[in-house]
Amino acid sequence: MSDRTRENLMAHGPGTPDTLLPPDPAATELAGSPEAARLVSAVRAHPDSSLAWALLAEAALAQGSDSADVQAYAYARTGYHRGLDALRKSGWRGAGPVPWEHEPNRGFLRALWALSVAAGRFGEAVEEERCAQFLRDSSATAYEVLARS
C-alpha cells in the first residue's frame, strides 16, 4: 500500500470524527483480572466482544510457547475482525481516530496490538508492521500504552 493510499484511508483531517464504540458486551463480566475459564466463558457468551478475544490473545502471548503464539494470533485476528465490524456499525469508514481514551474502543485496539505482537513472533514482519502502523494511526496513545506493556 502506498503512503498516499494509507494517508487517505487513515485521514485525521478536520471534520473526521472520533469513532466511539458502544460498551463492549463482555466488559462487565471481564472487569478486573479474569482467569482463563472466565475468558472462555465470556467469549462463548459474547463472541462479538473484541475485549474478550483480546484478553484471550494476551493470555496466550504471556505463555510464550509456539502453540500459544498460534492461539494468540487466532484470538487476536478474531478480536480484530469483530472490532472492525463494530467500528463500521458505529460509523467508521476506514478513516479517523479510534481514541484509547474511550474505554469501549480498547478491546479493538488491544486485539490489534496482540495481532501485531503474535505476527512478529512468527517472523511475519509485514503483518507485524501493518498492524502496528494501523494502531499508531488509530490511536497514538494506545500504541504508547500497549508498547510499554
pLDDT tier at 149, thresholds 50, 70, 90: confident
pLDDT tier at 139, thresholds 50, 70, 90: very high
94 located within any domain: yes
Q: 7 CB contacts (<8 Å, ≥6 apart)?
A: none
pLDDT tier at 1, thresholds 50, 70, 90: very low
Decide: residue 149, CB within 10 A, 0-12 exposed, 13-18 middle, 19+ buried: exposed
35 located within any domain: yes
Say what the pLDDT of residue 70 is: 97
Domain range for 57 is 27-148
Angle between helices 106-122 and 140-148 (to 10 degrees): 60
- Choose the weakest-confidence range: 31-35, 44-48, 77-81, 123-127: 31-35
Higher pLDDT, 16 or 110: 110
**Nearest one of 3, 4, 9 to 96, comparing CA atoms:** 9
12 located within any domain: no
1 located within any domain: no
19 located within any domain: no
92 located within any domain: yes
6 located within any domain: no
Using alpha carbons only, give the angle 97, 103, 109 rounded to the nearest 5 degrees: 55
| Rounded distance between C-alpha atoms, residue 54 and residue 51, angstroms | 5
114 located within any domain: yes
What's the number of domains the chain is made of?
1
Say what the pLDDT of residue 2 is: 39
